[in-house]
Amino acid sequence: MRFYVAFDDTDVLGAERGTGKVGRWFEDELPPSCRLWGVLRQQLLVDDAIPYTSHNSAAVCVIDVAGEVDAEELADDLAERAVAHLERNWMDGSDPGLCVAWDGCPALPRLIAFGHLATVEVVTMAEAYNAARGAHLSGHGGHEHGVIGAAAGVGLTVEGWSGRFIEYRGNGRALRDYPDPVRVADLTAAAMTVVALDRDAPVPLPNEQVVTNGWLRPRLWGGRPVLPVERGAVGSWSALASEKRAVED
């Protein structure tokens, strides 16, 4: 079974860490039965009417659990751990929010619709709480505006067609541990699909190299980690949008 734990608005301008790092650090708080599959950065609407910190993005932890579990009981446990995690890591002046949902949760269709809406319109906290009925949604400081991004982030992640991985544990290896360049075969072995976006480009071959500039960040496409690349030198590819944003991620 899969669970989704989303954080939003935990930082302030000029901070040494962003919400992405808070999301990645939650891996250390998981119970023994849980394994982090990945952490997604989900981009929401950027508008002057929205009190975001720098980019208006949420961080969503995707967590796998083996065997049969009581979903609501485990969701409560994850929420309790996430609240404690926020209390240790949120910054004064921020407006953190938390959302916890799971596969089969009755709120998922509403959260997906809300996630779409939050990428194109200014939405409200009341709409977020309405969308999250049946899941966990809570605010933990300041004006608690982060509940909006947390709820929307879960919806976008569940649908599976948006977001950038800021962590992925397909074979237990962290994204930051891969070499640069990295072989296509090594990415494939970790269940990352390398897709060439050039017109008429050939399929990247196992022994060819992908240049990441030290910034390996697959996209969430079709519920899977996909790395879009463009052709470079012979036998080499370049990952798209491979730029560093260390504070955010």
Task: Please spell the DSSP secondary structure of 4-19, one letter per residue.
Answer: EEEEE----TT-S--H
The half-sphere exposure of 149 on its side-chain side, counting CA atoms within 13 A, is 29
Question: How many C-beta neighbours within 10 Å does residue 103 have?
Answer: 12
Interatomic CA distance for residues 7 and 166, integer angstroms: 14
Q: Please check whether residues 90 and 121 belong to one and the same domain.
A: yes
Q: Quote the pTM value.
A: 0.92
Q: Please check whether residues 154 and 218 belong to one and the same domain.
A: no
Q: What is the pLDDT of residue 20?
A: 87
Q: What would the pLDDT profile of 36-59 be if each residue is shown by its tens digit?
A: 999 999 999 876 666 655 567 899
Q: Considering only residues 246 and 180, tell me which one the structure prediction assigns the higher pLDDT.
A: 180
Q: Please check whether residues 94 and 217 belong to one and the same domain.
A: no
> Would 244 be classed as within a structural domain?
no
Q: Considering only residues 147 and 199, tell me which one the structure prediction assigns the higher pLDDT.
A: 147
Mean pLDDT of 133-142: 91
Q: What is the pLDDT of residue 17?
A: 64
Q: What is the pLDDT of residue 14?
A: 52
Residues 146, 9 contacting (CB under 8 angstroms):
yes
Interatomic CA distance for residues 145 and 138, integer angstroms: 10
Report whether the peptide linkage leading into residue 181 is cis, meaning its omega lies within 30 degrees of zero: yes
Interatomic CA distance for residues 62 and 36, integer angstroms: 6
Tokens representing 35 are: 């394994």
Domain range holding 224? 179-239
Last residue of a domain, one of 165, 190, 217: 165
Q: Please check whether residues 127 and 188 belong to one and the same domain.
A: no
pLDDT exceeds cutoff 70 at 242: no
